[in-house]
Structure formats: structure tokens, C-alpha cells
Amino acid sequence: MDQDILLQTYSPIDNTLYVERPFAESRQISAIVNRLQTAQQAWRSLSLPEKIQLCAAALKRLQSQQHEIAEELCWQIGRPITHAAEEIRSFAEQCSYLLQIAEESLAPLPISSDSTLIRYIKRIPLGTVFIISGCHYPYLSLANTLIPALLAGNTVLLRHSHQSPLCAERLVAAFKEEGMPDGVLEYLHITTAQTRELIASKQIDYVSYTDQYGVNPAISQQLVTSAKPCYIELSGKDPAYIRHDADLNYTIPQVMDGAFYNAGQSNCAVERIYVHHTLYSAVQEKVSRWIKQLVLDRPNLPETTLGPLVNQAAANHVRNQLKQALKQGATPLIDPNHFKNAPPHSPYVAPQVLTNVNQSMAIMQLPTQGPLVTITPVNYDAEAIALMNDCQFGCSAGIFTEDIESVELIGERLNTGTIYMNRCDLIDPALSWQGCKQSGIGSSLSRTGFDQLTRPKSFYLQASSGSKTSDHWMLKVAN
């Protein structure tokens, strides 16, 4: 078959062809989209408890398959096998929380009423939701949108990254095996051009798009310039600030995990570290010691703690950013010869920390999405705030200190979507997840996620002269 009409996934482990699928033809795409539209009315009419029960059963089925899923993630995206199953556990936990808050989040909003007037706002499904998932966390990134979309009464179309196509297949199969009606949740393997056509289609009512830096700029640009409702999650350049009173024995493992877990491939990975000058030398020493205990090797080996990047293009981007920074005067903290399994023309990239950097460098301004982080000394909080804000990306920021009041004051001044104290690279489904500046548009998770996937419909019920509204309806709306 012609390579141009095939989706081909090469494993970053050894560059072997791991998955091959035909891209959908136009008639197949039309049939799927029509099926989604046809199924939406019946799905919308199904009671919320029935929807919740079905979704919960599907999540349980996926959890029972976590070992098989872990192996697939390992071979598709290079996640170490000892870490891969954690994604399904986190995915299930986030989705379970959203199931718990669904009834409250989707309930009508009552406005003050009396015996002659009832007013309320109801949440109405948008129609068909198109989820375009990235490859760094192909299941976890779905949690933000999938469950709220389905419970709100929308039908959902999945399009996974070409690096992780098996995730869409396995997820849809799990839901259908638990009784999901045909046409409610479907997937398509399609090209970027076909994806853009679907985004523009009047049959798609909402688009949720998670991307990594520079992977599909055409899709991002189309969504930004379109008038279609959407949620966009793009890269961050997230900072961590280690204040003078931080407990370094606790802080360093937290920050390093936030920087190097999944080889640094996360939209909320720590990429810039700012340290109070009194701790600068100690932080460098502890960071160096922590990194040298990493094991960079094939991710299907149980001893591996740092695997390859998802593909060669991602590795080239990190290496080019590192090379440019070194030319501009940055100093490497780690001897690259310490890690032997990082050939120059492979997805395996040795972890590195850079000092002697400044804000004018690309390494301080543009997302890296790899095992590369910088450390910069600061003299006081105001300087740290200015440097943390000196970037066009704003996903999250971590502040490591024992002073809660200072975190709140600093957090108020940071232009970022989420503020952490003594944590980083964490998503809490009870909190709204969103980026600011070039890190994204819209919000997901929490109650706000349900709001994004519905539209408000207002009811103004006025009794005629001499009559009263039904007590039944007043009680229903109030509850």
C-alpha cells in the first residue's frame, strides 16, 4: 500500500515499525461524523446516572488492562515500562472524580423565584466534540475533556497522535464493550489536512486540542483564528522557584521529577529553575547527584528510569536548543559522557542542566519538551517573579518554601494558570486546568470543564394573570 495513505508509527525504542494503519478515506470520515450526529439526541436523552454507570464500567475495564496498555505506551512513545501503567491509574482517578461531581456540575442553576415566576439556567450539550490528543500523555490528556463531554450529552470523536494510535483504539473498544451505543464515541486515524477539514466542518461543534511544541502549528493556528468554541493546551516553559527557606532534601527530588519524568515531555514540565543565591551551590550539587542516578536505556528494561523521546524530531529539537545555548555561553552541569546510551542521531537524549544562562537565550524563552533544564540564581522574590514572568508561556509555576503567605503573594503576581506550593508537574481534577499567554485557551477539569462543554439555556417561566407556577417545578429547579 502507498506510504502516503498509511499511518506508520515507528517505536523510539529501536526505530522499528510498531503500528501501521490506513488513513480514513473521505467517505469513512463522513459516515463516522454522520453517525455521531445521529446518535447525539438519543445519548443526550439518556439519564445522567446511566451515563455515569456506563463510563465507570469502561474505566474499570481499562484499569484491568493496564499492563497491556503499559507495554503499548512503552513501544509507542518510549515511556519506561515501570512508569507507563501510572498513566492509566492517573487517568482513571481524574475521570472518577469528574464522574463524582457531574450531577452537581450539570444541575440547572436556579435564580430567585416566587409563586408566579420561575427562572433558571440549564446546561445544554454542544453536540459533537472533536478531541485531538497529543502523544506525551495520550490517555491522561483525554481526561480533561472526554468524561465531561460524554456526561453532558455530547458525542465524541477521538483523533490521537500518529505516535500513539493504539490508545484511541483501545479506549473506544473499552467503552463499546461496556455498552456504549454506536456513534457516541468513535475514533478516526486521519492526516493533518483531514483534521483541519474536520475542525472547519459545521458538523463539529467543539474542539479540544492538546499539542506539544511545534508539532502541528497549522492546527493550532486554525483553531486560534476560528470562531469555533475550543480548548487548546499548548506547551509551557514552566518555572520553579526555590526560596531561601526551602528544605532541599525534599525540594530537589520534587523539582527534578517535575523536570525529568517522562524525559521532560510534558506541557507543565519544569524547564526553568530559579534559586535564592544562598542556596545556589548546594542546589547544583544535589541536582547533579540526583541526575547521575538516572538510568538512560531502552524503556522496556525494568531498570530504566529515563527513556527516549517520542521520536527523532523531538530529540533533534532538544539537541539543537542545547547546542545553541552552549554557543551563547551556557555551562553544562553534567558530563555528557556519564550517559553512554545516547547516540547523537537517535531519540535517546542525555539529561542536562545548564547554568550561566540569561533571559535572552532561546533556552529560557522557548519550550524544550525534553530532559534539559536551567538553573539561575536570584537575590529576592521580586527578581524571581520578574524572571518567571519573562516568558510568553504560562502553564504552571512551583514555589518551594515554608511560607504559605509568601506563596499566595507571589502567586498573585505570576502570569500562569496554576500555582503550586512545594509541588510541580501535577494535575488536580478538582482544580481548573488552563494556560495563559501562549500556553492555551479555555479551561478544563473541575466544574469549569463541564461549563466549557455545554451552553447555557435560560428559562423564564411567568405564570399568567391570576395563576401560579407549579410547586413541582419550583422544587425540581431548586434541587
Instruction: List residues with catalytic annotation.
Output: 233
Contact yes or no for 10/311 (Cβ under 8 A): yes
Query: Measured in Å, how far apart are the chain's first and last C-alpha atoms?
Result: 59
Cell 542546589 appears where? 283
Dihedral, 340, 345, 349, 355 alpha carbons, nearest 10: 100
Contact yes or no for 100/190 (Cβ under 8 A): no
The helix or strand, by DSSP H or E, that contains position 206, with its residue range, turns out to be: strand 206-210
150: burial class by Cβ within 10 Å (0-12, 13-18, 19+)? buried
Tell me the torsion sign for CA atoms 98, 126, 175, 104: positive
Give the E-state strand segments of 33-116 in sequence order.
Answer: 109-114
**Which amino acid makes up residue 448?**
T
The helix or strand, by DSSP H or E, that contains position 30, with its residue range, turns out to be: helix 26-45
**Which amino acid makes up residue 391?**
C
Contact yes or no for 330/356 (Cβ under 8 A): yes
**Which amino acid makes up residue 194?**
Q
Contact yes or no for 397/417 (Cβ under 8 A): no
Helix (H, G, I), strand (E, B) or coil at 153: coil
Which has the closest alpha carbon to 63: 152, 126, 139, 137?
A: 139
**Euclidean distance between CA atoms 142 and 412, whole angstroms:** 29
Note the Cα 33 to chain centre separation in Å.
25
Tell me the DSSP string of 251-278.
HHHHHHHHHHGGGG-STT-EEEEEEEGG
